[in-house]
Amino acid sequence: MALIVQKYGGTSVGSTDRIKNVARRVAHHHRRGHQLVVVVSAMSGETNRLLELAREISANPYPRELDVIAATGEQVTIGLLAIALQELGLKARSYTGAQVRILTDNAHTKARILEIDEANMRRDLDNGVIVIVAGFQGVDAAGNITTLGRGGSDTSGVALAAALKADECQIYTDVDGVYTTDPRIVPEARRLATITFEEMLEMASLGSKVLQIRSVEFAGKYRVKLRVLSSFDEPESTASGTLITFEEDDSMEQAIISGIAFNRDEAKISVMGVPDKPGIAYAILGPVAAANLDVDMIVQNIGESGHTDFSFTVNRSEYQKALDVLALERGHGFAAREIIGDNRICKVSVVGIGMRSHTGIASKMFKALAEEGINMQMISTSEIKISIVIDEKYLELAVRVLHRAFELENEPG
């Protein structure tokens, strides 16, 4: 007998028929003697719809109230799934985040999980009850409802698996695993039977939304056995999806590049003609950080006649805020000839642990892009990834071209 946590995303619970389907799969695993905790998202589109209602009333709603509203999406699906399981003659019980007591900090709309009380769930599991938990939500110490950031049900699933020391956490979604890149962009993308934890962490942080980054971080910290699977396969399916591994497998032919990630939610700001002297980066980025805005890539040009240009990227949703902060600082904290912004850029990254032991990856990447006339505006590298910033209109072309250049559609070896 194993303890399994299963998480079902929005599309997988997008209609009552699909919820019945989920119930059939859960029932199948239950019949085989496993204990089950099932985490569900809101029905697809529902979280957007709920947040939109708030925006129809206010351009700047309080985050606390946004969480009160957004959390209702998941409350509907836990109830529906519990009923579907009861219809199949099984014992099931639904829990909101607060009812489990998934304790979070009070950072509304992007809260972090601090602690999970497993007592209620354990009692149910020991009595043969299937536990159903609302994803994406928790409660802070003062009893306020919180949410974990978009895509946060993945994190609920993995965190519950960690707390319960589950044998496996299964993320059921609308694709049958993690692919070399988003199969919606590149139909030839190939499913990976395994991907290393480090690569998955990079892919998620660089924009692959198949797993929320925090869920991957949790899996790493608590060594949760994590698998991505399709909810559209038959309930009895033995498909194995993609397993996130913690050891590099020497026996297997290892690809140099495992995947390509991209992120559209980027914007670039360039501060032109600033004095080329110590402290200038701090003078510009200090106030940006103080305003709680995340800076991603940073590039400083070679100085010329005592002046230089300084560029960085931020999340597109924080673009205007960052421009406002700089406009306020300019003339006080630093002098600049001009501040220009571009919120029609995107980031494309190639990821692979094989980069550690192979050279020439960057030149291959740059050659492929040059042949298509795609101009790179910024470049950044780490041990296992190379990221570039390009005009948003080239995103799909760049991803396809790189996928082909690194022959990702073929099995390595």
Contact between 152 and ligand ASP (CB under 6 A)? yes
Contact between 47 and ligand ASP (CB under 6 A)? yes
Taking residues 200 to 239 in sequence order and writing x for each that binds ligand ADP by CB under 6 A, - otherwise, the string is --------xxx-----------------------------
Instruction: Please report how close the Cβ of residue 261 comes to ligand ADP at its closest, in angstroms.
Output: 7
Contact between 170 and ligand ADP (CB under 6 A)? no
Which residue from 73, 207, 241, 287 is in contact with ligand ASP, where contact means CB under 6 A? 73
Place of tokens 């990976």: 192
Strands 3-8 and 168-173: parallel
| Among ligand ADP, Mg ion, ligand ASP, none, residue 73 binds (CB under 5-8 Å by kind) | ligand ASP
Contact between 157 and ligand ASP (CB under 6 A)? no
Would you put residue 293 in left (φ > 0), alpha (ψ -120 to 50) or beta? beta
Secondary-structure percent of the chain, ordered helix, strand, coil, rounded to 5: 35, 30, 35
| Among ligand ADP, ligand ASP, Mg ion, none, residue 263 binds (CB under 5-8 Å by kind) | none
d(CA 93, CA 98): 14
Residues 112-151 that bind ligand ASP (CB under 6 A): 135-136, 150-151
Angle between helices 16-31 and 63-87 (to 10 degrees): 60
C-beta of 151 vs 177, nearer to Mg ion = 151
Q: How far is CA 293 from CA 286, 298, 318, 332, in A?
A: 10, 14, 7, 20
| Among ligand ASP, Mg ion, ligand ADP, none, residue 152 binds (CB under 5-8 Å by kind) | ligand ASP
What does the radius of gyration of the chain's CA atoms come to, in whole angstroms? 23
Residue 402 in contact with residue 348, Cβ under 8 Å? Answer: yes
Q: Which residues pair with 272 in a beta bridge?
A: 338
Q: Which two tokens stand for residue 321?
A: 């805020």
C-beta of 204 vs 378, nearer to Mg ion = 204
Q: How many residues belong to the site for Mg ion (CB under 5 A)? A: 2
| Among Mg ion, ligand ADP, ligand ASP, none, residue 259 binds (CB under 5-8 Å by kind) | ligand ADP
**Residues engaged in binding ligand ADP (CB under 6 A):** 9-12, 41, 151, 173-175, 178-179, 181-182, 184, 208-210, 259
